[in-house]
Amino acid sequence: MAIGVTNAPEKSKSSGSIINDPQVRGIFYQAITIIILAVLIYWIVDNTIENLRRANIASGYGFLRSRAGFDVGQSLIAFTSDSSYGRALVVGFVNTLVVAITGIVTATIIGFLVGIGRLSHNWIIAKLSLAYVEVFRNIPPLLVIFFWYSGVLAVLPQAREALALPFNVFVSNRGVAFPRPIFGEGAEYTILAFLIAAAASFLVARYANRRQAATGQRFPVLWTALGLLIGLPLITFLATGAPLTFDVPIAGKFNLTGGSVVGPEFMSLYLALSFYTAAFIAEIVRAGIRGVSKGQTEAAHALGIRPRLTTRLVVVPQAMRIIIPPLTSQYLNLTKNSSLAIAIGYADLVAVGGTILNQTGQAIEVVSIWLIVYLSLSLATSLFMNWYNAHMALVER
Amino acid sequence: MTTHEASFVRASMVEASPAPILESGIVFWLRKNLFATPKDTALTIISLLVLAWLVPPAIQWLFIDAAWTGGGRGVCATVAQGGSQPDGWSGACWAFVNAKFSQFLFGRYPMDERWRPALVGILFVLFLVPMLMPKVPYKGLNAVLMLVALPIIATILLPGGWFGLTYVETPLWGGLLVTLALSFVGIAVSLPLGILLALGRRSDMPVIKMLCTVFIEIVRGIPLITVLFMASVMLPLFLPQGVTFDKFLRALIGVSLFASAYMAEVVRGGLQAIPKGQYEGADSLGLSYWQKMNLIVLPQSLKLVIPGIVNTFIGLFKDTSLVSIIGMFDLLGIVRLNFSDTNWASAVTPVSGLIFAGFVFWLFCFGMSRYSGFMERVLDRSQR
């Protein structure tokens, strides 16, 4: 027994070998990783410098200032082939933003409708929504884009036989032509009136909330806001002498002239992204609404709250909490999928970058611009959505 | 004491009378599911009208008016367009799909050598089907055949160049062959790599953790097409002069790395869902890190995230269609390539080809999602 006691400290000392110390091991593994990584990076940089020297490509972002020499099909800001590469990239970026934002809005609307439809008690609506989701979720977005582009939009009639829709909208295989509003003198007052109305509605809503919290009396916020938002700009518009004319597209002998034209590239990309992403949003919405436990609805009914108010005040706020995080990632997916534009020649950031890359061979610079832009878009969207999420999150007492 | 005198006592139960006509049968079903409220009735009628407006023309176009057989564009074009169909005709051109079918499967793989991808395909199905059925025994052997033997056989047979097989370079590969090969390798690589990345992201070692996090977040933040561009333009820059990678291999690397970042996030979700007690229990048993992960944590967490894993697989399968942008001919690419075949150019050829390709993609993805639902139920049952 005495022997055992005297041996004990010695034993624990011998088992504390430095090889078995998890901390030492950790440092060792990390050191090895860093060394391997450093060697790899050195090797890559060395090879790249050598390859660039051999191909006579000057690295750096100086090429952004030189003349682009190519034209961009559709751009919101002025661009000619004499503009610089840098401006071409900005045009591409704006186009990416346009298709992403319009796509997000449309996908959200379709997605919410279909998602709610899947929960409908109406058998036929539920089955139709299910069919929509199952069809679009399981087909590559690129294929949907091609379907719209070479399947539907390309077989539309030619421009001179364009389909005429109401309000002077013409649909042909060159895209959708619609009247372009031309703002005359004093139009800015209408916009100003609209802004004032928006601010006033916001204040009214806040006042109504406070009053209801304090006295229990309700205030017709929706109607007041609608009246303000529509009435005030309308009155201003008429008071300033209706300073708005339209440049209407006219079907000529060979082509439509005048008006604004949205090209088939944008239309197919926009439609495909909206329909494809909407299928995913629908599933998220369904999961969100189903995620609110039935007890919540029942409790609201027991308190005597009517079904419509239950939905608005009890179910939706809780469902949004479940919906928002995955919805964010769908928005990001849509933004990233907009890069499929390159397949049909819509001049988004990747398509313009690809053209520049082919012309100048500045692969590293162009790819780095892509990385920075897409990463910052991702970051901005997730920051905004995190803020919104925190705003909506459960406040635990 | 009064005794209750009962003149009649029923000895058997009364037969249950049938439910009222309005509470059962087809009338009840219709009332409950289609015409419950005025709003429901309106919705039902509108949907029925829309269906009546859409479905018969679609069936007419897809099946009744479709051109099923024929040797050229003539069967798919109207007289005015130089074909044999009456003016005003429009229908699917399945004759095009029919004529190009073997190209859609194998791409431009040489005719005489097509038995090779066909054989690999048959082996793939033979190994896969028993693998997917939970009741079939010898899962271990099956997995070895699927994940070790099949890739070896495929690497020998598909490119050739060994054992007297003629060499078939990858630009000639195409169609469903490329789509399936990319997806198979992508899935086989991204799952283990994703698990490693997820473990790395949750590691105690700051350097490993940072590297994994940076990799995952960057890859998830950018579109796949830029990753494929990087693989096709940047990779040659990074390698020494003279070392070249096959284009197919570059796409393979791009797709696999991309999918593994998404996989890592799915697996991380599973790892986080395991209670801390499981980790501590494993530690207190004296298990090493890898024993702890392999025996305790991963089996539980992977089971939790099967839907997410399959969703990533489906995403990867759909994403393989993007390689057609960097000039490879997967199923979508080869279908589009054939639009420019003057022998088949007609107004309805593109739609027909795309509908066919879409149907094939849909079949695979829908199959995968259905199988994942089935697997979830099987595993759920065993847990109870």
> For residue range A21-35, what is the model confidence (pLDDT) as tens digits?
778 888 888 899 899
Helix A363-392 and helix A85-118, axial crossing angle in degrees, nearest 10 = 40
Contact A363 B237 (CB under 8 A): yes
The pLDDT assigned to B364 comes to 92
Nearest CA in chain B to A55: B237
Beginning with the edge strand found earlier in the chain, give each strand of the sheet holding A169-172 in spatial order: A163-165, A169-172, A175-178, A260-262
CB < 8 Å to B224, chain A: 336
Contact B365 A137 (CB under 8 A): yes
Distance CA A375, CA B88 (A): 50
Q: Give tens-digit pLDDT for A70-81.
A: 777 777 777 777
Identity of the residue in A51, A146, A350 whose CB atom sits nearest the CB atom of B354:
A146
Cβ-based neighbours of B234, under 8 Å, separated by 6 or more: A363, A364, A367
Distance CA B221, CA A335 (A): 10
Phi-psi domain of A36 (left: phi exceeds 0; alpha: psi -120 through 50; beta: other): alpha
The pLDDT assigned to A189 comes to 80
DSSP state string for A119-142: T-S-HHHHHHHHHHHHHHHTS-HH
Contact A124 B236 (CB under 8 A): no
Nearest CA in chain B to A361: B233
The pLDDT assigned to A254 comes to 62
Token digits for B361? 């993609």
**B45 contact A CB<8A:** no
**B350 contact A CB<8A:** yes
DSSP state of A84: B
Q: How many CB atoms lie within 10 A of CB B131?
A: 16
Span B39-66, average pLDDT: 87
Q: Give tens-digit pLDDT for B90-123.
A: 888 888 888 888 888 888 888 877 888 888 888 8
Q: Which of B51, B237, B316 to mutate to test the interface with A (most CBs of A within 10 A)?
A: B237
Span A358-380, average pLDDT: 86
pLDDT band, residue A275 (cuts 50/70/90): very high
The pLDDT assigned to A13 comes to 47
pLDDT above 70 covers what percent of chain A?
Answer: 91
Span B194-211, average pLDDT: 90
Q: What is the mean pLDDT of chain B?
A: 84
Contact B321 A337 (CB under 8 A): no
Better-scored residue on pLDDT, B230 or B4: B230
Q: Which of B43, B48, B89, B222 to mutate to test the interface with A (most CBs of A within 10 A)?
A: B222
The pLDDT assigned to B196 comes to 93
Phi, psi of A67, deg, nearest 5: -70, 135
Contact A146 B40 (CB under 8 A): no
Contact B233 A154 (CB under 8 A): no
Cβ-based neighbours of B62, under 8 Å, separated by 6 or more: B91, B92, B355
A250: β partners: A257
In this predicted complex, what is the ipTM? 0.85
Identity at A245, one-letter amino acid code: T
Q: How many CB atoms lie within 10 A of CB B199?
A: 20
Q: What is the mean pLDDT of chain A?
A: 82
Contact A343 B319 (CB under 8 A): no
Distance CA A366, CA B263 (A): 28
How many CB pairs below 8 Å do chains A and B form together?
159
Nearest CA in chain B to A370: B226
The pLDDT assigned to A396 comes to 56
User: Could you give the residue ranges of the DSSP H alpha helices within chain A?
Assistant: 2-15, 22-55, 85-118, 123-137, 141-146, 187-215, 221-239, 264-291, 294-302, 307-310, 316-337, 349-360, 363-392
Cβ-based neighbours of A317, under 8 Å, separated by 6 or more: A392
CB < 8 Å to B186, chain A: none
Identity at B83, one-letter amino acid code: G
Q: Give tens-digit pLDDT for B76-97.
A: 777 777 777 777 778 888 888 8
B303: β partners: none
CB < 8 Å to B362, chain A: 135, 138-139
Q: Give tens-digit pLDDT for B135-151.
A: 878 878 888 888 888 88
Nearest CA in chain B to A155: B347
Identity at A256, one-letter amino acid code: L
Interfacial B residues in 96-155 facing A (CB < 8 Å):
none
Distance CA B124, CA B27 (A): 50
Residues B258/B313, Cβ–Cβ less than 8 Å: no
Residues A251/A162, Cβ–Cβ less than 8 Å: yes
Cβ-based neighbours of B240, under 8 Å, separated by 6 or more: A47, A50
Distance CA B268, CA B283 (A): 20
CB < 8 Å to B315, chain A: none
Residues B262/B315, Cβ–Cβ less than 8 Å: yes
Q: Give tens-digit pLDDT for A147-181.
A: 888 877 777 777 667 777 777 777 777 777 777 77
**B295 contact A CB<8A:** no
The pLDDT assigned to A270 comes to 92
Nearest to A173 by CA among A159, A160, A184, A187: A159
Identity at B115, one-letter amino acid code: W
Query: Closest approach of chain A CAs to the CA of B40, in angstroms?
Result: 6
Phi, psi of A84, deg, nearest 5: -85, 165
The pLDDT assigned to B197 comes to 93
